[in-house]
Amino acid sequence: MSDVNPTNSKSYRPGDEEKGYNDLVTIVLTKRECSDLLTAMNELTAGPYAPSKKEWQWMEDVMGMPTRESLMALFDKVDDFQEGDLRSSK
């Protein structure tokens, strides 16, 4: 982690600390909900209908969307956790 970006999130924005955006949260999902979330994230970032780089840049600039890379990193984080949970429940 760095002083400038304490979370190492690619969607970090200056001022996130004052808004509490760096605080940890706990989310409880069923395995189905987790799977649905991962499917949606994958389709949005890498699926055949995913926005182009230019379109994604527009979504970041105009709509305040996180970066594609940030969503992909979040996908990996959730996927790793889900895979570990699935292995431990067998």
pLDDT (tens digit per residue) in 22-68: 788 888 999 999 999 999 999 999 999 999 999 999 998 999 888 89
DSSP 53-83: HHHHHHHHHHH-PPPHHHHHHHHHHHHHHHH
- pLDDT per residue over 65-90, tens digit each? 888 988 888 899 889 888 776 566 65
pLDDT at position 6 is: 61
Q: What pLDDT was estimated at residue 90?
A: 57
**8: left (phi > 0), else alpha (psi -120 to 50), else beta?**
left
**pTM surpassing 0.85?**
no
Greatest extent of the chain over all pairs of C-alpha atoms, in Å: 45
The answer on pLDDT for 5 being more than 80 is no
Chain centroid, CA 87 distance in Å: 23
